[in-house]
Amino acid sequence: MTLDAGRLRARLPGRRIEWLESTVSTMTDAARLAAGGCAPGTVVVAEEQTAGQGRHGRRWHSEKTSGLYLSVFLGREMPAESLAGLTLSLGLAAREAIRRTTGVSCELKWPNDLLAAGRKCAGILVQRTAAGVVAGIGINVNHTAFPADLEPAATSLRLVSGKEHSREDLLVSLLEAIDSRIAAGHARTAGQGERHVTGIGRGQ
């Protein structure tokens, strides 16, 4: 089932939400909106990505209507040295939203992965563009299977919990958690959450 863009906008008043049935990458779309002068907090969410971006140029598997594939324009005034802390803070926000919405507990693997039952269920990518900072988040929500090359390391919230979950509820909870952490100061909230993270300082 596709996301109801109208209902999302009603639940998140004042936020620009661009819903796409299919796109190459929400990161590219959000960067283009940022260059056009969109407000911080603008979100691009797609039902599928044909070339979703992961870390180190890897492609994010984006099965249609099964996951959350979104990018958020965070703002123009962010120092470069804050990006690592921002990535961690966004991971903590995703962890919080997943637990609150689905009951699934995740572990953060430094620098940008979330693991459920030891397998990757979500990832965060933060990039600085000419117009500011864009964050891409992918969450495997209702996938029931993965391509053979990903299957040993990937999972979904549905596979872990044994039940289907509302992508709309998770998206709303995620954006609220991101807003809360950004407002509180991501460096401070990230520091408070390092006990939930594995791999810090190990070069992973």
How many whole angstroms separate alpha carbon 60 and alpha carbon 158?
A: 18
Class in CATH terms, 5-191: alpha beta
Per-residue pLDDT at 115 exceeds 70: yes
Instruction: Name the token pair of 53.
Output: 């971006």
* Contact indicator for 121, 59 with CB cutoff of 8 Å: no
Angle at 63 between CA 61 and CA 69, to 5 degrees: 75
Query: Does residue 22 contact residue 46 with C-beta atoms inside 8 Å?
Result: yes
Q: How far is 126 from 71, CA to CA, in rounded Å?
A: 9
Does 87 have pLDDT greater than 50?
Answer: yes
pLDDT in tens, 144-183: 999 999 999 999 999 999 999 999 999 999 999 999 988 8
Report helix, strand or coil for 151.
coil
Q: Where are the domains of the chain?
A: 5-191
Whole-angstrom Cα distance, residue 120 to residue 152?
10
- Residue 201 has what pLDDT? 40
Contact between 111 and 83 (Cβ < 8 Å): no
The whole-angstrom separation of Cα 192 and Cα 185 is: 11
- H-run or E-run covering 122: strand 119-129
Q: Indicate the length of the chain as a whole number.
A: 204
DSSP conformational letter for 24: S
Count of other CB atoms within 10 angstroms of residue 1: 10
Task: Judge whether 137 and 68 are in contact, CB under 8 Å.
Answer: yes
Kindly report, residue by residue over 118-132, the tens digit of the pLDDT. Answer: 999 999 999 999 999
Tens of pLDDT, residues 22-62: 999 999 999 999 999 999 999 999 999 998 876 656 677 88
Percent of the chain having pLDDT more than 70? 86
